[in-house]
């Protein structure tokens, strides 16, 4: 098991290098001179030259990458062009908010999505199934930011039950996390339904029934345990969508997280900050994939750890 | 042939159809049969003739809808089709159990072998968890799996095909059922393993006094195992006979064809006998021909066969045939 | 399998799939919705003559009424008119995005799956890298580099779709490649190009069709998301997401400004998803009873 973890960790190294390359060339791909971009339109040629030297842009490209990479490994992502604060510090201040939102949302999604999918698969083509499948279809077709705004209209403006944005109390978490979870709930419910339907049509399900097991036992012990394998994979993948959705949700609810930071940075052309935020999103995603793989190994006895 | 008088299972006028998008498929179309205590009944036919659906209909393991089961099935006097869900559930795995064709896909990949055997014992015999597990180990030993204590803790993917089928048999026998449906139990296995599994089933049958309905397309297996044979074609019984009768004097052209397509070692040289085959294929479920269902493939086809479907002709006790030539 | 028989089987499969699709009420509803959407986009100048972007501050933020069916926005522009013209923008984006994804993703997937080896390895590593970023974030990162606007929206979202097509096509090719008729074609010495076009592509068509329908929905969602953040199509162009974004400021006194563009996005995406689901159920033999 330990070896398996190590092996998985080793596998992430090439991806990390790839991401660093992507980030490195992102700045170089910018139309025009990055030093000029960073210095702004009003900068004098001396100032631009100064920034160029400061960033090492006058050196050969492979040296630039080496410097960039060694700084990256030390979590030195430079300073924000907008606030002049170290990028790492700014990110650290926002990260917990985004993680909180994502964790609450993914928990909600599993709590509601998986049971809904199971009910739907076990009683196919009944009113319950139609209810779940159409709700799920609505869920994946709805723009999250619109749902967020509509929830604000109903719960903050009309009913005045919950705050429309910001942070502070548990009440502030409800609307953003429900908004963020909606898409994922829908996706997980759809996925669970189709996986369960497939598992329920497998030979071993018939075997389980032929043994005279109660239907609940067949569904939970025999079918769900098998269905969990693909479901875990999907939940892991959905975490990525959740991060994407976080950008929009955080904007709707003025939630001070990484997503909001990235949008503000793009609007302000704050490239060091964009790089940093995207890197952290990439790392989060890789981390989640790793956890998914490990969970996967726990559920499926066929996975070998060597 | 040792047959007790009382039938264990009687099936009368069984019709099983599936409602599909392409229309109604009559998989089993008016099947009658009787199974006696302690006997092995062979159920023979090419794939798609309704053998497996018959077995699944008895235990009501088909999802309804799309399936629809009609007719009468009595097991020890109990009307199986009339039972509620709880009632049929008490019979499954306890009084009647099944062995499936594909040992690779019929065992649950995420549960240990021991658990899969123990769970039905716990359920039907009210054994405690520990007792059930010990019984599972005993059963694995009985089906001659080496190192049963260790194997019980293994997951199915660690076992070979033959071992899995042994585990499957252990599972089917674990509650000492009166009747087992064995659906092509050896088809997916190597020839050498096949013989071992068949011998094992034969021995265990004697020990447990179980009746077996052996579903197969392999007449060699039938000759070795069964005392009585029912031949099915396109959802109907076309011939029934004691096993020796059937091999000596097959009456239906289809049976004759089936027997003709079995190679007999040593005979070819002497008599110039060729391995024959039945021309054509089993008609698809939606293209059942009019008249006798076998007529497009029958070497002895007559005009009458094309026009009218033959009824069953009873030739004696457990001896019937559905063919105009015998009428 | 002879070619004639192969063709007959394709024809039979097509008929069955079509019959199945016709029985699927949800898919038909999706198709009708899509037609309505296409009709609106095509005939926008007829349905709403005049400029959807011309401000009229005299009538700003009016509630829905007989004159202004869905009300007006902060600059007094009719929301109905902007939604009608906005359907052109979103459809254009969806088509553009899918074209980028198809034109680059499908050939790369075919090559990667069919030839394998080093070229497969290289393509797959790049794909891995791109998939390490969730789709929307990848598009966002690309926008950060390329800048905002309609063209860059299409390019950014299009590029973020490429790895999905590569993966999908490659997976299909790998499973089809080993099949008997492909082996046979190779054994009799058919050219690679011919094998790919005649034998492999038809088998990959089903998942591509389904993915394209669902992908159009995703493209509209992504584009609206970018527009909402102010990083997509720029005002005064009528883009649904951007309309929502600017309507957000008036949520308290004029919620209709943010509501109706959202309904338009939802219906457009819904139509593609319904159709995509229907196509998958109708075309995928695994789901056939």
Least confident of A181-195, A218-232, B271-285: B271-285
In which region does residue B282 sit, left (phi positive, over 0), alpha (psi from -120 to 50) or beta (all else)? beta
Per the structure block, which two tokens stand in for A4? 């398996």
Q: Which domain holds residue A283?
A: 94-299
Digit-coded pLDDT (tens) for A159-174? 888 888 778 788 888 8
**pLDDT at position B3, please?**
45
pTM score, whole prediction: 0.83
- The verdict on residue C271 lying in a domain is yes
Angle between helices C135-146 and A258-267 (to 10 degrees): 20
Nearest chain A residue to C268, by CA: A141
In a mutagenesis test of the A interface, which of C26, C136, C159 is the best target, namely the one with the most A β-carbons within 10 Å? C136
- The verdict on residue A33 lying in a domain is yes
Q: Do A302 and B155 touch (CB under 8 A)?
A: yes
Domain ranges of chain B: 3-95+177-262+277-326
- The verdict on residue A121 lying in a domain is yes
Please state, in angstroms and rounded to a whole number, the distance separating the CA atoms of residues B83 and A131.
Answer: 31
Per CB-CB distance under 8 Å, the chain C contacts of B66 are 289
Pairing verdict, β B67-75 and B40-44? unpaired
Digit-coded pLDDT (tens) for C207-249? 888 889 889 999 999 999 999 999 988 888 889 999 998 888 8
Per CB-CB distance under 8 Å, the chain B contacts of A211 are 92-93, 97, 119-120, 123, 171
Q: How high does pLDDT run on average in chain B?
A: 82
Is A126 at the interface with chain B, CB within 8 A? no
Helix (H) or strand (E) holding A57: none
- The verdict on residue C20 lying in a domain is no
- The verdict on residue C4 lying in a domain is no
Whether A118 contacts A191, CB under 8 Å = no
- The verdict on residue C239 lying in a domain is yes
Tally Cβ neighbours within 10 Å of residue B53.
24
Higher per-residue confidence, C283 vs B10: B10
- The verdict on residue A83 lying in a domain is no
For residues A121 and A255, state if they share a domain. Answer: yes
Nearest C-alpha neighbor of B162 from the set B209, B135, B199: B199
Does pLDDT of A29 surpass 80? no
Nearest C-alpha neighbor of C220 from the set C248, C241, C243, C249: C241
Nearest chain B residue to A206, by CA: B61
Q: Which residue has the tokens 């195992």?
A: B225
- The verdict on residue A111 lying in a domain is yes
Higher per-residue confidence, C34 vs A290: C34
In chain B, positions 84-123, which contact chain A (CB-CB < 8 Å)? 85, 89-94, 97-98, 100, 102, 105-111, 119-120, 123
Q: Which domain holds residue C203?
A: 34-44+77-283
Q: Do B106 and A299 touch (CB under 8 A)?
A: no
Superfamily for the B3-95+177-262+277-326 domain: P-loop containing nucleotide triphosphate hydrolases (3.40.50.300)
Digit-coded pLDDT (tens) for B24-66? 888 888 888 999 888 889 898 887 788 888 888 888 888 777 8
**pLDDT at position A41, please?**
67
In which region does residue A168 sit, left (phi positive, over 0), alpha (psi from -120 to 50) or beta (all else)? left
In a mutagenesis test of the C interface, which of A266, A269, A280 is the best target, namely the one with the most C β-carbons within 10 Å? A266
Nearest chain B residue to A227, by CA: B110
- The verdict on residue C150 lying in a domain is yes
Give the number of domains in chain C.
Answer: 1
For residues A61 and A100, state if they share a domain. Answer: no
Nearest chain C residue to A147, by CA: C262
The answer for residues whose C-beta is within 8 angstroms of residue A53's C-beta and 6 or more apart is none
Domain boundary among A72, A107, A133: A72
Digit-coded pLDDT (tens) for C96-110? 999 999 999 999 998
Higher per-residue confidence, C21 vs A196: A196
The interface predicted TM-score (ipTM) is 0.84
**pLDDT at position A104, please?**
93
For residues A139 and A218, state if they share a domain. Answer: yes
Give the number of domains in chain A.
Answer: 2
For residues A266 and A140, state if they share a domain. Answer: yes
Per the structure block, which two tokens stand in for B188? 């997916």
Which of B254-258, C15-19, C257-261: highest mean pLDDT?
C257-261
Does pLDDT of B212 surpass 80? yes
Percent of chain B with pLDDT over 70: 93
**pLDDT at position B261, please?**
62
In a mutagenesis test of the B interface, which of A199, A205, A207, A218 is the best target, namely the one with the most B β-carbons within 10 Å? A207
For residues A146 and A270, state if they share a domain. Answer: yes
Q: Which residue has the tokens 């999706």?
A: C30
Does pLDDT of C285 surpass 60? no
Tally Cβ neighbours within 10 Å of residue A46.
9
Per the structure block, which two tokens stand in for A231? 């479901």
Which chains have at least 3 CB atom pairs separated by less than 8 Å from chain C? A, B
- CATH code for the domain of C154: 1.10.3720.10
Least confident of A188-192, B144-148, C56-60: C56-60
Percent helix, strand and coil across chain B, each rounded to 5? 35, 25, 40
- Provide the pLDDT confidence category of residue C11 given band limits of 50, 70 and 90: low
Whether B51 contacts B215, CB under 8 Å = yes
């Amino acid at each position: 098991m330990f070896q398996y973890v190590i092996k998985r960790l080793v596998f992430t190294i090439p991806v990390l290098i790839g991401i660093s390359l992507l980030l490195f060339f992102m700045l170089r791909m910018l139309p025009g001179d990055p030093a000029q971009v960073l210095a702004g339109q009003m900068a004098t040629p001396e100032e631009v030259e100064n920034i160029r030297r400061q960033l090492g842009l006058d050196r050969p490209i492979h040296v630039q990458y080496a410097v960039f990479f060694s700084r990256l490994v030390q979590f030195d992502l430079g300073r924000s062009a907008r606030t002049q604060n170290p990028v790492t510090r700014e990110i650290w201040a926002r990260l917990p908010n985004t993680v909180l939102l994502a964790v609450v949302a993914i928990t909600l999604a599993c709590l509601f999505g998986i049971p809904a999918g199971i009910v739907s698969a076990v009683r196919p083509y009944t009113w319950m199934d139609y209810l779940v499948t159409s709700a799920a279809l609505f869920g994946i077709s709805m723009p999250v930011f619109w749902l967020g705004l509509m929830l604000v209209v109903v719960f903050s403006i009309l009913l005045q039950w919950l705050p429309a944005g910001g942070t502070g109390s548990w009440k502030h978490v409800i609307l953003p996390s429900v908004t963020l979870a909606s898409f994922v709930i829908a996706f997980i419910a759809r996925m669970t339904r189709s996986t369960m339907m497939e598992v329920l049509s497998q030979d071993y399900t018939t075997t389980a029934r032929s043994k005279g097991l109660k239907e609940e036992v067949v569904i939970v012990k025999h079918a769900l345990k098998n269905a969990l394998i693909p479901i875990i994979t999907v939940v892991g993948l959905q975490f990525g969508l959740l991060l994407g959705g976080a950008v929009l949700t955080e904007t709707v609810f003025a939630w001070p997280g990484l997503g909001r930071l990235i949008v503000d940075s793009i609007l302000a052309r704050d490239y060091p900050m964009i790089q940093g935020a995207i890197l952290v999103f990439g790392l989060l995603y890789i981390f989640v994939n790793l956890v998914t793989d490990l969970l996967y190994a726990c559920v499926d006895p066929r996975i070998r750890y060597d | 042939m040792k047959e007790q008088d009382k039938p264990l299972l009687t099936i009368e006028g069984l019709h099983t159809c599936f409602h599909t998008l392409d229309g109604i498929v009559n998989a089993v179309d008016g099947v009658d049969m009787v199974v006696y205590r302690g006997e092995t009944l062979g159920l023979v036919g090419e794939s798609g003739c309704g053998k497996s659906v018959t077995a699944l209909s008895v235990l009501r393991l088909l999802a309804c809808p799309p399936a629809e089961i009609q007719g009468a099935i009595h097991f020890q006097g109990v009307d199986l089709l009339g039972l509620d869900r709880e009632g049929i559930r008490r019979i499954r795995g306890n009084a009647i159990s099944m062995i499936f064709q594909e040992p690779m896909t019929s065992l649950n990949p995420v549960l240990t072998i021991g658990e899969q055997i123990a769970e039905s014992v716990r359920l039907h015999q009210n054994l405690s968890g520990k007792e059930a597990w010990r019984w599972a180990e005993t059963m694995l030993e009985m089906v001659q799996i080496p190192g049963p204590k260790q194997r019980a803790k293994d997951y199915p993917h660690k076992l070979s095909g033959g071992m899995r089928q042994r585990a499957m048999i252990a599972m089917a026998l674990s509650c000492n059922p009166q009747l087992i449906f064995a659906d092509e139990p050896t088809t997916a296995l190597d020839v050498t393993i096949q013989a071992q599994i068949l011998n094992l089933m034969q021995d265990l049958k004697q020990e447990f006094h179980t009746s077996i309905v052996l579903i197969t397309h392999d007449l060699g297996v039938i000759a070795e195992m069964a005392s009585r044979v029912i031949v099915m074609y396109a959802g109907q019984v076309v011939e029934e006979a004691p096993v020796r009768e059937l091999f000596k004097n097959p009456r239906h052209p289809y049976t004759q064809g089936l027997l003709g397509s079995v190679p007999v070692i040593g005979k070819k040289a002497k008599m110039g006998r060729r391995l024959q085959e039945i021309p054509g294929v089993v008609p698809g479920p939606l293209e059942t021909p009019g008249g006798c269902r076998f007529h497009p493939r029958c070497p002895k086809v007559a005009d009458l066969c094309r026009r009218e479907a033959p009824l069953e002709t009873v030739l004696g006790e457990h001896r019937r045939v559905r063919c105009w030539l015998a009428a | 399998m002879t070619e004639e028989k192969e063709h007959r089987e394709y024809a039979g499969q097509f008929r069955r799939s079509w019959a199945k699709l016709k029985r699927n009420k949800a898919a038909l509803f999706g198709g009708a919705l899509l037609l309505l959407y296409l009709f609106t986009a095509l005939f926008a100048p007829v349905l709403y003559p005049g400029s959807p972007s011309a401000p009229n501050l005299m009538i700003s933020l009016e509630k829905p009424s007989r004159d202004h069916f869905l009300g007006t926005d902060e600059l007094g522009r009719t929301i109905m008119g902007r939604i009608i013209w906005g359907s052109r923008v979103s459809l254009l984006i969806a088509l553009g995005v899918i074209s980028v994804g198809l034109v680059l993703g499908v050939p790369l997937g075919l090559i990667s799956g069919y030839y394998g080896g080093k070229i497969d390895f290289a393509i797959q590593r790049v794909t891995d890298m791109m998939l390490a970023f969730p789709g929307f974030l990848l598009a966002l990162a690309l926008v950060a580099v390329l800048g905002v606007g309609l063209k860059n929206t299409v390019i950014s979202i299009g590029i973020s779709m490429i790895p999905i097509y590569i993966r999908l096509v490659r997976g299909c090719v790998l499973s089809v490649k080993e099949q008997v008729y492909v082996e046979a074609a190779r054994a009799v010495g058919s050219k690679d190009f011919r094998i790919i076009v005649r034998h492999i592509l038809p088998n990959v068509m089903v998942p591509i069709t389904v993915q394209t329908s669902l992908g159009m929905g995703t493209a509209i969602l992504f584009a609206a998301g970018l527009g909402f953040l102010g990083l997509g199509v720029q005002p005064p162009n009528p883009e649904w997401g951007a309309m929502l974004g600017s309507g957000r400021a008036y949520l308290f006194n004029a919620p209709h400004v943010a509501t109706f563009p959202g309904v338009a996005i939802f219906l457009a995406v819904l139509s593609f998803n319904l159709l995509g689901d229907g196509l998958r159920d109708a075309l995928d033999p695994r789901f056939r009873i």
